[in-house]
């Protein structure tokens, strides 16, 4: 679980580290290049908004609008000293609005953009920044300075440009973003988390030149990458079993060399599980088998082909070389005591294991798989032909009584007993 969370968040935080490393370099750029960098967040925001709209990721679009609105106000109203009342109040409001909207966006469910709920959510972001801009453009924003609470006037730490109220807003915004990241585990939530930290860094070290352009750009790129990662996840990863799906398998075929073995695996009597225990238990069986197959050794890789069928790919191995790993998997699954999950069993595996240990009686079922495998030969030159032969061998395993594996070419020699010594017959 920790590795998956780290994998989700790593690309976004690499971008933030890169922005931090580039910050000293940007101060040395010529005025022309600095102007280009200053304008960069705007086309990035348009790209991210279009990606969010095109891939039906409304949270991505809302985050892009939120970041872009804050950046636009920074570029138009905060290119001056914060000692001026108008600038100070504007900075204080942005420091609260930015994390507030990010926290709200993390709580949203994907309900589309051009729906009543989607339009209301987008309008809230636009109206908040629009009203703030109108008050600032009238020159009356500084009049509210005397009415600001002390939390907005007092800095959290004297060396940073973050008020106590802004620090509280970031802390409150972090809670829903972290909860959404922990429970949903999506690239979108990882990008939102990175955007929150990016905004925190930007506002805390606001005196650094070009910091807003760099870190807003990094946030936009993180949001764009999350859309691509989510799309890849949907296209190439099976949603139920969380292992690569058939499309990923077909892509893998193009990378195979001159020597490889493909194995087709099928769960025995899978229909019986569905008819006896229901589809929820059938899904448990699929997840268990996929998890075991995904632990294949010998350089193999597991894919869900469809239904209750799975495919194992062994690059660089013949049937004889792949057989020990295939048999190890088959025996591991056959010997695994699968406990039928109760209706009130939690989805979390750790909590489920604790409940299973404390349960006085739990129904245990045995799951077996049948396997057919074939290696590439001059007579079977392409992956699709190899897979077809593997499928034929799979049906032979079914005819032979199931819970066994059958190779197309390799026939292991039966073990002959060693010749006894004279002393053995004494």
pLDDT at 417: 47
Q: Answer yes or no: are the C-beta atoms of 199 and 70 closer than 8 Å.
A: yes
Query: What are the φ/ψ torsions at residue 339 (nearest 5 degrees)?
Result: -90, 130
Q: Check whether 202 has a pLDDT greater than 50.
A: yes
In whole numbers, what is the pLDDT of the chain averaged over residues?
A: 87
- Least reliable range by pLDDT among 105-119, 124-138, 197-211, 317-331: 105-119
- For residue 306, report the phi and psi dihedrals to the nearest 5 degrees: 155, 145
Angle at 204 between CA 197 and CA 11, to 5 degrees: 25
pTM: 0.77
Long-range contact pairs involving 68-72 (C-beta distance under 8 Å, separation at least 24): 68/41, 68/42, 68/216, 69/125, 69/126, 69/128, 69/129, 70/94, 70/97, 70/98, 70/129, 70/199, 70/216, 71/41, 71/45, 71/212, 71/213, 71/216, 72/129
Q: Which pLDDT band, with edges at 50, 70 and 90, does 158 fall under?
A: confident
Mean pLDDT on 416-420: 49
371, β-bridge pairs: 265, 405
Range picked from 53-57, 122-126, 230-234, 253-257 for highest mean pLDDT = 122-126
Average pLDDT over residues 273-297: 89
Q: Note whether 34 and 210 are within 8 A (CB).
A: yes
Band (79; pLDDT cuts 50, 70, 90): confident
Domains of the chain, earliest start first: 2-236 (no CATH), 246-407 (3.30.70.270)
Q: CA separation (Å) from 194 to 23, 38, 173, 219?
A: 17, 20, 12, 7
| Tokens 């299973």, residue located | 356
Whole-number Cα distances in Å, 174 to 10, 102, 167, 302:
18, 9, 10, 37
pLDDT of residue 424: 41
């Amino acid at each position: 679980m920790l590795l998956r969370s780290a994998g989700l968040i790593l690309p976004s935080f690499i971008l933030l580290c890169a922005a931090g490393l580039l910050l000293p370099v940007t101060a040395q750029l010529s005025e022309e290049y600095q102007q280009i960098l200053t304008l960069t967040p705007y086309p990035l925001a348009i790209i991210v908004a279009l990606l969010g709209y095109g891939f039906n990721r409304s949270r991505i679009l809302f985050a892009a609008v939120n970041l872009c609105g804050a950046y636009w106000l920074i570029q138009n109203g905060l290119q001056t000293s914060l000692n001026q009342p108008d600038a100070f109040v504007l900075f204080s409001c942005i420091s609260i609005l930015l994390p507030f909207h990010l926290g709200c966006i993390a709580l949203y469910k994907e309900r589309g953009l051009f729906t009543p709920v989607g339009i209301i959510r987008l309008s809230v972001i636009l109206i908040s920044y629009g009203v703030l801009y109108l008050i600032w453009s009238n020159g009356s924003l500084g009049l509210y300075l005397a009415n600001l609470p002390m939390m907005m006037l007092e800095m959290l730490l004297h060396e940073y440009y973050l008020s106590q109220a802004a620090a509280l807003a970031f802390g409150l915004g972090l809670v829903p973003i972290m909860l959404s990241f922990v429970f949903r585990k999506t690239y979108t939530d990882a990008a939102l988390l990175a955007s929150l930290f990016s905004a925190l860094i930007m506002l805390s070290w606001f005196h650094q030149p070009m910091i807003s352009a760099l870190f807003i750009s990094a946030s936009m790129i993180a949001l764009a990458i999350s859309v691509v990662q989510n799309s890849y996840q949907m296209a190439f990863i099976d949603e139920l079993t969380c292992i690569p799906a058939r499309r990923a398998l077909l892509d893998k075929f193009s990378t195979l060399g001159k020597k490889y073995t493909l194995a087709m695996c099928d769960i025995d009597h899978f229909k019986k599980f569905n008819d006896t225990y229901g589809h929820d238990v059938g899904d448990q069986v699929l997840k268990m088998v996929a998890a075991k197959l995904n632990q294949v050794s010998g350089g193999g890789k597991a894919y869900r082909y469809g239904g209750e069928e799975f495919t194992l790919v062994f690059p660089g191995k013949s049937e004889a070389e792949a057989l020990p790993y295939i048999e190890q998997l088959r025996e591991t699954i056959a010997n695994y005591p699968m406990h039928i999950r109760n209706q009130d069993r939690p989805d979390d595996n750790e909590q489920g294991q604790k409940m299973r240990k404390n349960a006085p009686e739990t129904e245990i079922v045995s799951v077996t798989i049948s396997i057919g495998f074939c290696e590439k030969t001059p007579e079977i030159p392409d992956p699709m032909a190899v897979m077809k032969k593997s499928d034929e061998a799979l049906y032979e395993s079914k005819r032979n009584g199931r819970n066994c594996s059958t190779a197309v070419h390799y026939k292991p020699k039966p073990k002959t007993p060693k010749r006894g010594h004279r002393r053995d017959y004494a």
